[in-house]
Amino acid sequence: MIQCADTKQHPPPAKPGEGLLNSATAILTIDLDAVIANWRRLAERVRPAECAAVVKADAYGLGALRVAPALYAAGCRTFFVATIDEGLSLRPLLPEARLLVLCGVMPGTADEFTAHHLIPVLNSLEQVEAWADRGEAALHVDTGMARLGIEPTGLARLGGFRPVMVMSHMACADEPGAAMNRAQLEAFGRVAAAFPGVPASLAASSAIFLGPEWHFHMVRPGAALYGLNPTAATPNPMGQVVRLQGKILQVRDVDSPMTVGYGASHRVARPGRIATVAAGYADGLFRTLGNRGHGFIGGEKVPVVGRVSMDLTTFDVSALAPEAVQPGAMIELIGPGHTVDDLAAEAGTIGYEVLTALGARYHRRYLGGEA
């Protein structure tokens, strides 16, 4: 039997993940190679000090289970988390790494620390006493933050306790001219001298750039690894890690006297077009971005108009050609021309809060880090 050829036009088979991208209302792209490059840049800067990595708060919202193994493969061997649960989630992926828990030992958790080879950062005399001789522990000494840490006057009560590391944290490192930076450096120098032969660590991201005096034996960058500017008064020395795109759901014509969004906070003054994007404050686009934030389409800046709502944000796209703004097109919310720090400034906050608020509804796409 002669069979007729199928003359119907069939679409090419979907590539893996393509269907998810098509259905995604917003896409968060995280460049693991950029995270690795940032860590290497800092490691070279502080040599011979060790460069650790702070991956607390789910690697500042970017996914610790993806970020930490990529950094370990690149050569990082020491990681800091905030809570024991964060350490427990990473231990199976980093069986040989040093994992330090910044919040220390909570009552009833000491056995879990020892069973999973987690190193507590002890923050009080009570924690030191509770830990006793269970194994390795770091010691946090407060040199001016009045947050966590043993006061320097309490060091005399430690007896023969010898930590594997002594550390402190800077209060004003992002302000290079702050007098407190030098005061904390000198205070920590006296603390480190009280523990001869014990590795010392003072600098997180911004303090790395204060100079070699602040590096001691180890630095602990977090924000800088993820592309935030650790030197606020100068151009960002770190590579950008994050790109966030929101999909346009609808474009509509507007004219005076129409208003846009809750509270009618934006009044239309002339004929134009409004694009509604599927991302809102439930996704980490702060409500304070209403009538002051921006996005980009094809490199063109488009302002947020009206209030940001839970699931939606509206942009004025009147200046763009209609064919450039159609349902299904993407508005860049974070990217090379509109960084996390830029978005934070518009929202009246800091890049740390923007990153850690990135929502769970985004379709997350990781690039690089295969090694």
- Domain match, 219 and 87 both: yes
Q: What is the CATH number of the domain that holds 137?
A: 3.20.20.10
On whether both 204 and 254 belong to a single domain, the answer is no
| Residue 31 belongs to a domain | no
Same domain, 166 and 254: no
Choice among 8, 72, 226, 262 that is catalytic: 262
- Taking only the tens place, the pLDDT of each residue in 219-253 is 999 999 999 999 988 999 999 999 999 999 999 99
Are residues 278 and 215 part of one domain? no
| Domain stop point among 226, 250, 282 | 226
Structure-block tokens of residue 128 = 């030191």
Is residue 182 located within the same domain as residue 110?
yes
56 annotated active-site: yes
Q: What is the mean pLDDT of residues 109-127?
A: 95
DSSP string, 202-248: ---HHHHTT-GGGTTTEE--SGGGGT--S-TTS---SPP-EEEEEEE
Same domain flag for 297 and 354: yes
Q: Is 323 inside any structural domain?
A: yes
**Domain boundary residue, one of 163, 198, 226:** 226
| Rg from Cα positions in the chain | 25
Q: Please say if the pLDDT value at position 10 is more than 80.
A: no
Which amino acid is it at 325? V
pLDDT band at 348 (very low <50, low <70, confident <90, very high): very high
User: 119 and 205, same structural domain?
Assistant: yes
Q: What is the pLDDT of residues 276-304, one digit of tens each?
A: 999 999 999 999 999 999 999 999 999 99
| Residue 167, beta-bridge partner list | 140, 201
Query: Can you give the pLDDT at residue 17?
Result: 47
Residue type at 327 in one-letter notation: P
Quote the CA–CA distance of 260 and 307 in Å, as a whole number: 8
- Label residue 65 by pLDDT band (50, 70, 90): very high
Same domain, 304 and 359: yes
pTM of the complete model = 0.92
Contacts (Cβ under 8 Å, ≥6 apart) of 182: none
Name the active-site residue from 56, 60, 72, 352: 56
The CATH code of the domain that includes 304 is 2.40.37.10
64 with 178, same domain: the answer is: yes
The answer to whether the CB of 45 falls within 8 A of the CB of 238 is no
Active site residue 8: no
Residue 200 lies in a domain: yes
- Give the structural domain span for 352: 242-367
Does the structure show a pLDDT above 90 at 335?
yes
Q: State pLDDT tens for residues 151-169.
A: 999 998 988 899 999 999 9
Domain assignment present for residue 170? The answer is yes
Residue 164 forms part of a structural domain: yes
- Are 56 and 200 part of one and the same domain? yes
* Domains in the chain, number: 2
Residue 146 shares a structural domain with residue 247: no
User: What is the pLDDT of the chain when averaged over all its residues?
Assistant: 92
Domain membership of residue 30 (yes or no) is no
Based on the fold, state whether residues 222 and 252 are members of the same structural domain: no
Q: 14: which 2 tokens?
A: 């979907």
